[in-house]
Copies of this chain bind each other. A is one copy, B any other.
Amino acid sequence: MELIHSGINISAINKVSCKQCQTRKSCLMAEFDEGEANNAECFVTHEKPMGKGQHLFLQGDKFQSLYLIRSGSFKSSITDETGERQVTGFHFSNDILGIDGIEPGRHIREVEALETSSVCTLPFQLFKEVSLRSNKSLYEKLICNVSSMMFKTSHLMMTLTKMKAEQRLASFLLDISQSMYERRQSPHEFKLPMARYDIANYLGLAVETVSRLFKRLEDQKLIVAQRHRVHIVDMDGLHRIAAGVYLDSKMICSEINYRQIR
């Protein structure tokens, strides 16, 4: 949990300048012109990646930086006064973490690595200064990011209130699939870096239910799932489930499925 502060040059051995960053083209900073890019060197990378289970920050930590995921994956969660925890999202490369801490000055959720992962740290004070100097408003980009985050959240809320359990899981798998696609990885076969327990919490279901649902989707020949490896066999079918297309014809669908099974 060692955070690097704005000592610009001294600890350069732990840093990689943005100019040299391999993933720069897909980065928030990508459109910076060369002049500004020098400033961007201040956006550092932790040389040593974080291990599974390590926290990027905890709920209540002072907010001072934004983080850009370079590799790996994270889960974010909130704990309320009663100690109840709610997983609020899963995050992959190029996602920005920590934005929600800007206003209260403290992080309102914790973020934990689901596997070996690395991030870029963007000290927010510096970020603000650079964005004021720059014509191309970084702030605007940030808002864009925030905006799409709000969209995702709304989508999730919809999932949680309007969908039956099976729809939620189907929808969840499709979301992950979409994420993989956007990152130029296979949308049909991927690894779920999070535990069943996290999925259940995220979807507002019991672990046992999630487990049963994975099986049910397999029985319907929509996916093949073994542990964390998921193979989507029938993408359309999964979409149909997610959309709740079996509501009236439930009996019929079930019959078909049973026929398919044997």
Residues of A within 8 A of B (CB): 78, 80-82, 84, 86, 88, 99-104, 108-109, 128, 132, 137, 139-140, 142-151, 153-154, 156-158, 160-162, 201, 203-204, 243-244
Contact B147 A103 (CB under 8 A): yes
- Checking B78, B100, B128, B204 against A140 with a beta-carbon cut-off of 8 angstroms, the contacting residue is B128
Known A82-B243, A86-B162, A162-B204; judge A104-B147 contact (CB<8 A).
Answer: yes
Q: How far is the CB of A196 from chain B (nearest CB, A)?
A: 16
Given A143-B146, A157-B160, A161-B203: 9 more A-B contacts, CB < 8 Å: A82-B244, A86-B154, A99-B150, A103-B147, A103-B151, A104-B147, A128-B137, A139-B139, A161-B204
- What are 13 A-B pairs at a CB distance below 8 A? A80-B158, A82-B244, A86-B154, A86-B158, A86-B162, A103-B146, A103-B147, A103-B148, A104-B151, A139-B143, A142-B143, A160-B204, A161-B203
Q: How far is the CA of A103 from the CA of B201 in the complex (A)?
A: 29
Neighbouring B residues of A78 by C-beta, 8 Å: 154, 158
Contact A150 B153 (CB under 8 A): yes
Contact A154 B88 (CB under 8 A): yes
Neighbouring B residues of A100 by C-beta, 8 Å: 147, 150-151, 154
Known A84-B162, A243-B82; judge A153-B143 contact (CB<8 A).
Answer: no
Neighbouring B residues of A86 by C-beta, 8 Å: 154, 157-158, 161-162
Residue of B nearest to A145 (CB): B103
Contact A81 B243 (CB under 8 A): yes
Q: How far is the CA of A142 from the CA of B157 in the complex (A)?
A: 23
